[in-house]
Structure 1
Amino acid sequence: MKSLLSKGTLVFALLGLLILSACGDKASDEKSSSDSSGESYEWSVGFNTVEDSIRGVAAQKFKEILEEESEGRITIDLFPNEQLGTDNEMVESVQVGALDFQLSSSGVLAEIMPEFSATDLPFMFESADEAHAALDGSYGDLLKKASTEEGIKMLNTFSIGFSQITTNASPINGPEDMKGASIRSPNEPVPIATFEALGSQVTTMPFTEVYLGLQQGAIDGQFNPLTAIRDSNFHEVQDYLAMTDIIFYHAPFIMNQELWDSLDSETQELIQKAADEATEAARAFEAETEAAVLGEIEGDFKEVTNPDKAAFQQAVQPVYQQFEDKIGKDVLDDLQSFLEEYRSK
């Protein structure tokens, strides 16, 4: 199993989980051959954004369905806003069984499963609909298989939105305006390489530290979907917004594979149903709110620009070449062939 953390960091993270009582009651190590649907469970779900974010919508729906349809035998505790550690730390905790469920990010999972990096490549998708079609098809099946091999059960995934760029350095009208700007990136390989290709000085930091970093001038800017920009109030401390759609983000809904394997089929079906309905709720929420969010926050910026995407696409082409071998040329070819066929229809 590939690890995202040092041993010392992992021990600290696990102690924190225990203190916060984040560990749910686990089923027995050996899966019962008889019906164990009467057994009670208390499970934890962690994510790195605020409670009323897209991830929060999914988590709340998941909780409601499991608690109602299990008639109280399953209890779900929600831990938003990195209460249980950073995105990377929570993935590690899911792998080793210290955290039951997580609404993760594709980029973090790409650190241990390069196949996930394909969705993070700049301008890979033109719309959330085509991204969901790929993730619901053979490409999504490939991600689920890769996850299982790393101790992770991937239940489903949903769009967080396309990343837009904000900065205090200068208005962004083309890739040349990114040169020298200090841009925060999550500690994820493709986004880091993307902004380095644009000539930016990339700084990594946990999501919950970004607002302070922007406010104090430790970084010039960041990139995130509009909903994340609003939910975290980045528009309060940024002057310029560029609508680039540069990177598509999705949130894989994951759980510990051993926990899944230990459960009876009835409980597994209920978990999958809850995850699927939570995914649909999150996808609908993202689609309904994305356009409205721009209207809410654009007045807080000095300037909102709509740069020519073609220039950005040309500038970041080396990123595709950089990650082709790591992701797998066959994986990229299959995904791009699917998208070409999808667009032709």
Structure 2
Amino acid sequence: MAQWIFCTGIQQMIINITEESKFTPDKINIEALDNIAYQCGAGNHILMGSRELLTRISETPGLERRTSALIRASCQRMTQQGALLNGSPWRLDIDASNTSRSIPHLHLFQNPDYCEKSQILTENPDDAATIVALAKTYIAHTLRGNRISIRHNNGGGSTIGRTLKSIMDSPSGCTICIVDSDRKHEGAATGGTAKAGQAAYKKVKQKWRANFHLINQRELENLIPHDLLQHCVDKYAPHLSDVTKAIQETNKFYVDYFCMKAGDSMCRLISSLISKRQLKRLSKATQCSGGPMPPIIPCGTCICDGQCRESPGFGTGLLGWAATEMESGAFTSNPDLWRDELTDLVRKVAFTGLATQPFRA
């Protein structure tokens, strides 16, 4: 079985074009290849494949001259990029014979809209700006020589499900939809926006263009790297610097679910647990001993021996601060220090929009 392997910014990142029967270089297939190559050449995607295969593809009669040149250039890069191809967990098979019942056909890409730049769908622009800035850091640290090319689509809180459906109802490239869970504590139900996003995704998830990521923590703010959080607070809200340091020393239960915008307390988290069984299971994990977190409020109603921590809020501008500091180059977070949950999210976005510099023939 011969195979044509293309790596673009579409969901699984690697497009593996196979032959279930026999590939015919007809007009539609050639136009599809030209469309894919055009977007790769524009710096929106990456084109990959074995050296032998790319050489053969570049000689296909009828391809545009620029397409052949880009494929040859991609062939020359395979020595450096081969590890990326082999190591990526995201892969999409496309049938060049256009006969498969289970994978997309190459003919589909005759419509250039399916090759367009990938997009990230979030509840608000600050979410997207922060995640994309972190993805740039991840790529520079882990996938050197590449870049991210992705555009933002703002779904709004209550409309994100309808926005995702609208995108999927029209020809387009990959969309990764990211929503906060808005959980008040571990095991709590997700919020309305998360439910709407999940419901919409269930109806389109079989489409190769759709990807969905639910942030299991309360919000994206709860995943901000500690080094970035400390830098932003030191610069924009220095009166909260000590609180930020104390939060970093607090157990994961609190860090994951306290409201970073408005402020929160350990007592609120514990008292919101919906069953005594949960309370008993988490009582040890939620002990309030450890680093100081002013102010300490004795409430006398929770399991913290009357020592209930309260954290002031950072306001609604935290993600805006983070995006500004990273985009301006004022601060670079260290991916080696990120939590696994954040790395997983950022990696998905990085591979969704992974690209090279624009090609110049």
| TM-score higher than 0.5 | no
For normalisation by structure 2, the TM-score amounts to 0.25
CA radius of gyration, larger in: 2
Structure with the higher fraction of residues in helix conformation:
1
TM-score (norm 1): 0.26
